[in-house]
């Protein structure tokens, strides 16, 4: 460890003209002779909620065995390397999502567990991520980030409107948060500096890289760091540069008016979709690593999505396919899609596991909810929900187990438990009745 009488603040940023960038946790941020628990390295949890639409094929999602000695299910198989960080939670029901218009309110009730009124104006109560953000992200530049793998245009309903189908995050009961689909917008929000998003976007257009603006500040900082911190800083900045390159490459390929001839329908749309998901996950990981925020939500696809998966040799659109009528072929296709989505998510988990954070890794300190607010997509029901927790939340989550709760156990109890495990002593969330102590 690099020891110095003077130490860097955890809020240190690299600054240049018109730009600034946060830093990962460095040894130099830990004062000499100070106990780890009393420094910037003291573990503080991160929280993320990752949503997939149209439920899951139950027999291929939930392991047949409960407890620690279970066989990983086909859909969750990509998470096998991290099973000690995984808690599969089965048997939960979300009554708040039950409605004659299921697609219209399913996303918006997943993290709120509040049934909305019959009104065009949103009113569901804050989502669990936003309750957590007010505490976990204190001192961070951003309370939270909300991203999406697809744009809006989800299910709307005459009684409920579209407020609950295009987002899973609600800052307050009446303030839905937009899910950002443009990776460049997310990147400039996280790492650009300026009074408005337009100014930050202009900075990047003029320079091509936010890192160029902070070059002098970076060189100055390096001179005062030990060898380990220099390597850590170098790896982090290279990750930022790589995300920039990938965003610029996507823009050059798909942007109009830049001299690039666009095809009518770009080949490899599923491949590009996969890259989009990977980019969003990478920026979530960087946002945590740079302490820009500690809370994130991600709608990997929207409800009623018509996306197809030629990369899986599946030409059926996802939403019509979700009405499977128990047809074995349809169930097999849905299983392959859901496995592929988990595979994409597992890439994010891998990066969290490989990213040092204080006395552990981001995965050790994270609490990530991955799943859906629909169960059997053919029946549009919400019982039992396919859900898994990933991460140890700074040691408060046991991991390595499949928990099967009695039928109709309240889904909001899981959300309340998540708040408790990240240190927020909430008495209630949504229609919760108590904590799931086995987690």
Q: What is the pLDDT of residues 359-414, one digit of tens each?
A: 899 999 999 999 999 988 888 888 999 999 999 999 999 999 999 999 999 999 99
- Domains in the chain, CATH or no CATH each: 37-190+269-421 (3.40.720)
Quick one: CA torsion of 364, 48, 134, 139, rounded to 10 degrees?
Answer: 60
Phi then psi for residue 369, to 5 deg, are -95, 125
For the segment 222-226, the average pLDDT, to the nearest whole number, is 80
Instruction: Give 135-175 pLDDT, tens digit per residue.
Output: 999 888 888 999 999 876 666 655 665 667 788 999 887 78
Number of neighbours of residue 39 by Cβ within 10 angstroms: 15
Peptide bond into 384 cis (omega under 30): yes
> In whole angstroms, what separates CA 233 from the centre of its chain?
24
Quick check: 213 and 14 in contact, CB under 8 A? no
pLDDT of 31 reads: 67
Average pLDDT, the chain: 82
Quick check: 247 and 185 in contact, CB under 8 A? no
Interatomic CA distance for residues 235 and 219, integer angstroms: 15
pLDDT at 61 over 60: yes
pLDDT of 159 reads: 61
Interatomic CA distance for residues 272 and 280, integer angstroms: 12
CB neighbour list of residue 105: distance below 8 Å, 6 or more residues apart: 97, 99, 115, 116, 157, 160, 164, 165
CB neighbour list of residue 28: distance below 8 Å, 6 or more residues apart: 2, 4, 7, 8, 224, 225, 226, 229
Q: Report the greatest alpha carbon distance in the chain.
A: 68
Of all helices (H) and strands (E), which one includes residue 316? none
Quick check: 41 and 356 in contact, CB under 8 A? no
pLDDT at 269 over 60: no
DSSP of 155-214? --BTTTBTTTTS-S-EEETTEEPPPB--HHHHHHHHHB-SSSHHHHHHHHHHHS-HHHHT
């Amino acid at each position: 460890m690099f020891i110095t009488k003077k130490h860097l603040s955890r809020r240190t940023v690299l600054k240049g003209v018109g730009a600034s960038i946060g830093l990962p946790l460095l040894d130099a941020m830990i004062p000499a002779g100070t106990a780890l628990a009393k420094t910037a390295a003291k573990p503080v949890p991160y929280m993320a909620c990752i949503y997939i639409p149209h439920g899951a094929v139950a027999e291929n999602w939930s392991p047949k065995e409960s407890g620690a000695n279970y066989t990983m299910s086909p859909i969750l198989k990509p998470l096998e390397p991290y099973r000690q960080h995984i808690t599969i939670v089965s048997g939960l029901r979300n009554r708040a999502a039950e409605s004659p218009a299921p697609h219209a309110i399913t996303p918006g009730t997943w993290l709120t567990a509040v049934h909305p009124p019959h009104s065009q104006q949103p009113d569901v109560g804050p989502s669990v991520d936003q309750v957590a953000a007010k505490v976990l992200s204190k001192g961070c530049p951003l309370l939270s980030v909300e991203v999406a793998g697809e744009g809006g245009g989800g299910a709307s309903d005459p009684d409920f409107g579209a407020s609950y189908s295009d987002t899973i995050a609600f800052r307050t009961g009446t303030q839905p948060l937009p899910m950002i689909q443009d990776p460049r917008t997310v990147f400039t929000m996280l790492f650009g500096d300026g009074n408005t998003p337009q100014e930050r976007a202009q900075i990047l257009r003029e320079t091509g890289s936010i890192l160029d603006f902070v070059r002098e500040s970076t060189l100055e900082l390096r001179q005062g760091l030990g060898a380990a911190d220099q390597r850590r800083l170098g790896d982090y900045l290279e990750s930022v540069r790589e995300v920039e390159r990938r965003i610029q490459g996507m823009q050059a390929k798909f942007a109009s008016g830049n001299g690039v001839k666009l095809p009518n329908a770009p080949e490899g749309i599923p491949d590009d979709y996969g890259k989009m998901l990977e980019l969003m996950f990478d920026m979530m990981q960087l946002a945590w690593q740079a302490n820009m925020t500690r809370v994130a939500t991600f709608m990997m696809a929207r409800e009623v999505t018509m996306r197809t998966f030629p990369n899986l040799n599946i030409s059926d659109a996802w939403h019509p396919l979700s009405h499977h009528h128990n047809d074995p072929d349809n169930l097999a296709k849905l299983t392959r899609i859901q496995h592929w989505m988990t595979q994409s998510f597992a890439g994010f988990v891998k990066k969290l596991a490989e990213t040092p954070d204080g006395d552990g890794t981001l995965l050790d300190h994270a609490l990530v909810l991955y799943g859906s607010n629909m169960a059997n997509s053919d029946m549009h029901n919400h019982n039992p929900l396919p859900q898994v927790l990933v991460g140890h939340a700074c040691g408060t989550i046991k991991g390595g187990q499949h928990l099967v709760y009695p039928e109709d156990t309240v889904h909001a109890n899981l959300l309340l438990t998540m708040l408790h495990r990240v240190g927020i002593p909430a008495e209630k969330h949504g229609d919760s009745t108590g904590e799931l102590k086995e987690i």
